[in-house]
Every structure is written in structure tokens, then in C-alpha cells.
Amino acid sequence: MSGNKIHYEVLGQRGTSWTIIAVVDGQEEALEAARQARSSYRAVKVMRERFDKSSGTFRSGQIFFSGAKMRTSKYDSDPIPGICWKVEDLYSYEGRRSINRLLRSELVRWGLTATELIHSLDYVERLQDDGTAMQRAVQQTSIAQVRETGQGVQERIKQIYEIIDRGIVALRRDKQMAGELRLVDNDLDALIAEITPKESRTYLLNVALVNHLASAQGYGEKLGRVLGPVRADHPDWVHEVADTFVGDLLSLGNVAHRLIGERETLYDELSATALLAHGRLPAEDPLAAPEAHTVNRLIAAGKMSHARQSLEQHLIEALRSPRKLVDGDIRAEARAVHDLTAKLKREDGSWLGGTRVMELASARGTRWLHPEAIAEYLHGAEEPDARAMRLIDLEPYILGAANKRKLGEFLLPILTSAQAEAYFTEGDIPVSERMKHLATIQKSVLAADLQDLHQRRLSERLDDLCCRLLQKRQLFKRLLAGNNSVADKCIGLLKMVLEGYFTVGKAEDEARQLVRKLLLNSEFRASFFAGIDSKEEKISRLETLTAMLARADIEFAPRSADPATPAEAEASSA
């Protein structure tokens, strides 16, 4: 194939990665290979690669595609590697992040980070000697990037190897100088003074820190060695170098616990991590390491952006884990999620870690909003009212509209069941007690942030139960048949309205109508003023009644021949 100017690459996609299936000389052969491989892959494509002698590069174009277009998941944590065009790109944040991800298993096995790898010839040569690790990383990067660059895979592979080779040449050139750079007796100030006049001071400080970390035992000790001599009054470029190392160590070494200390629960761990990422970790925190307060002060000053991003990534990974935030039932977990979200938000309302953190916090609620978990949570609450209130009590701690909707779906069958109707409308419990209970549940439903449809249906169901209760117990009929005066009946019913015995809706409207009817009763005035001789006392009592009617939202409209209100009638006669 080496003599051909054109060849064809057949690639298959599984998950988010493209794998080379075949490299052939003929177009028809390539198309047939792609068709045969289609059933084994999510998608297949054929790329035509043409070697341009004048430029010494490959030119490529896609001539065939079959399968599903990849849709990015909202939880996608495997982004396209940062596209590298020159050696300096390897040293960028995106470059180092890609190296950490692509070579994670090798770097963890050796206890290294991308920053250490790219600043040490010895470490690069170790990677070159380690089987096919570098080849695998280059191929994965090239396949992922050709969708963005429009190149062929072979062309991209060739370019990346050229960039790596130029970087190795530079490391070999600097090897003697790099070996002489040392952080002596942890005296960072002396090293800063030595290299500050040099143009490549940032590179030199990186190299010196790599040498300083060579004898450290594990990522945790490396974190302490980097942060130990760093102070808030060091120059910004020093903080940027320290930030590079800390960011790598936190993301690859997973040593956030080294900073925040071992916490009792996952909620405590995430709370401390969030506070540190905000730069608001309390100075008196007894579990945080001294280095944590260095990072905290620098983040608060608007520095250590890479360390902050690594802390945010730690939050994302911890929220994904199956581990519960706290010990306890659903309500304890829901409350922990609710309280944690307040710490995950910035002052402007945005989230640490962006929408992924918001989605993962919401997804935690989805884990236990299923029938088995709800049944366990409701165990011991036998009656419909107790079961309903347990679920309503959860609502303030539930995040996300979808989870609120699920909660409403669990509530509806409890209150719409035949068992609920029998419980609320039958039995020996006093009617006023049952009414007040229904009104209390309805008030909680209306105050909850449920989906409008569920809220309306639940409220109407509770109102319907209250009306059925009133009808079965004949409350209004018994009230009118009592031996007390019309005024006492009216005032007593008005007080029940004000004290919340009636559910909002038909029950309360019916009570208001009966109050109006009693106010218009010919016997009302005489019984209302019975035993009162003083004009001032009569006016005072009328004013009290008028205020009560206003609070109960009862408009009193007497017949046109009557005075406008009882208060006006008495005032005019007086």
C-alpha cells in the first residue's frame, strides 16, 4: 500500500469511540467491508485518504456513512480531547486534561500526573517503553478529533506524533538544566528569586516542582509538597504553576479528602468540598488540612481556577455515586439533597460544576421516588391522612419538576381511594375535627410546589370529601335546627369559616352562602342586639362583625329596601 496515493479507512463506532476496522486500497472493497461490519457497530463510515506529495500530508473526506448519529448525553463526561496543533498545546489546561484522561491507567500506576509527564524526559521515555500506551492514546485522540478537524485519521495521527517528537526534542535539550533545578529546604522564595528574571520562569518552576515531587510517596504527599511552601503573597505566575499541579492531583489522584479531611457522611464531604470550591471554607474547620486554607484563600481571591474545576469535578463524581448522602429514611436523604443544593449554588444563582451538578442533584431524588422506596417510607402510617402528609412533607426538599410530578402521582391514589372517602366521611370522630383535618391537608397541598394539575386535582378531591362529610353528617341542617338564636348560629358559622374548618372551594362557598342567609333573616337584628342598650356597644359589635365578614371574604348585599350593612343600619337608627 505504501506506493499508492489513495487508500480507504473503514471505521466502526461503539459508544463514543471510532475504531479502525480495515485499511484497503479499493473503494468498492472498503464499501463492502463497511456494509458487512454494519450489524456489529452503532455506525460505520468510510474515509478516503489521499497523500499530497507537495505538502507531505494526507487529505481526506468521508464517502460513506451508515448508522445512528451520536447524540451528546447530558451526563457525557468523555469530551473530545483538546485539539493540539503545536507543542505548547500539550502544556495547556485542555492538553493536560486530555493526557490525564487518555493515559489515566498508566499515570495512576506510576503515581504521576500529566504535568509531571510533559516536564520530564525520564517519564516520557518510560511511557514510550510501556507497550502501546502512547499509540493507543494517539489513535483515540485522532479518531475523536477528525470529526472536528475534517482530516483523515492517518493524517491526524502523523501530525500528533510530529508534535510529540518536537516536545521530546525540547525535553532532551533541557535535560541537564532541568536536573539542576531544585527546591532546596522547601525554600520556594529562593527558587522564585533565582528564576524570576528568566523568560521561561513558568516552565522552569514546573520542572523544579517535578523534581521536588519525584521522591514523594503517592498523590497525597505530592499535594502537601506543592502547597506547603505556597503563600497568598507570592506572584500570580507562581500561583498559576501551583494551580496546575493541584488541579491535576485533585482530578487524577482523587485526593480531595487530603484537603477537606475524612468526613462522617457523604453530605459532610460534599458540603466541605463545595465551600472550598467557593473559597468559603471556615477558617476554624477542625478537619481541613492547613493546605486547604491556602487553596481556600487563593480561590476566594479569584485564583486557582484549575483546582476549583477539579473540586467541581469531584462533586460531580461523588453525586453520581450510589452512596447515600446521609443515614436515614427518604426524608433525611431528601432534606440532605435540598440543603446541599444551597451550598452548590453561587451568589448569582449559577451552580458549581454547571448544569451537570444540577441534573445529578435532581437525579438523586429519582433514585428513591419509586414504589418500593415510597412503600418503605410510608410504613407505619396506616391511615390516608398520615400517608398523605408524610409525602407532602417531602415536597420542600425535592429538586426538579419531574420529581415533583412523581410525588404528585404517589399522592393522588392515596386521597382518591375508597379507603380515603370512608376514613374522612364515616366513623365516630366529631365532624368538626374531620373538617379541620381535611382543610389542613388541603392547605398543605396548595402551599406545596406541586405540578398544577396534581395540585388542582388534590385540592378538588379534598373539597369534595369535605362536602360529602357535611352532607352525611348534615352539619348545616343540624346547625339551623338548633335552639340558639339566629345571630349565634350566624356568628358561630362565621367563626368556623375564619378558623379554617371548611376546605377552599364548594364547602367554603356553601358556608359563606349560609352566613349571608342568616344575616338576611328577619330575626337576625333583634337577636344580634339582644341585651345591649348602649349605642357605643352596639356600634362596636357591628364593627367587629363587619371586620369578620371582610376577613371571611363575605360580601353582604341586603335587599334594596334594607340599609347597606348591619353597621350602617344600626348607626342610622341610633
**pLDDT range class, residue 564, cuts 50, 70, 90:** very low
**Helix or strand holding residue 27 (H, E):** helix 27-37
Residue 83 or 388, more confident:
388
Confidence of residue 149 (pLDDT cuts 50, 70, 90): low
- Top pLDDT among 184 and 67 is at 184
pLDDT of residue 42: 84
**DSSP assignments along 358-416, one per residue:** HHHHHHHHHHH-SHHHHHHHTTT--SHHHHHHHHHHHGGG--SHHHHHHHHHHHHHHHH
34 φ/ψ angles, rounded to the nearest 5 degrees: -65, -40
User: Average pLDDT for residues 307-322, to the nearest whole number?
Assistant: 91
pLDDT at 5: 66
Mean pLDDT of 298-326: 92
Tell whether the model's pLDDT for residue 3 goes beyond 50.
no
46, 10 Cβ separation under 8 angstroms:
yes
Identify the three-state secondary structure at position 16.
coil
pLDDT value at 193 more than 60: yes
Please state, for a pLDDT cut of 70, what percent of the chain lies above it.
Answer: 90
Rounded distance, CA 558 to CA 517, Å? 10
Predicted confidence band at 572 (pLDDT cuts at 50, 70, 90)?
A: very low
212-252 residue pLDDT tens: 999 999 999 999 999 999 998 999 999 999 999 999 999 88
| Model pTM score | 0.68
Q: How confident is the model at residue 400 (pLDDT cuts 50, 70, 90)?
A: confident
Q: pLDDT for 417-456, tens place per residue? A: 999 999 999 988 999 999 999 999 999 999 999 999 999 9
State yes or no: pLDDT of 78 exceeds 90.
no
What separation in angstroms does the CA of 314 have from each of 256, 270, 340, 425? 8, 9, 15, 54
User: Which 3 state secondary structure label does DSSP give 113?
Assistant: coil
Round the average pLDDT of the chain to a whole number and report it. Answer: 86
Closest CA to 422 of 378, 386, 478, 472: 472
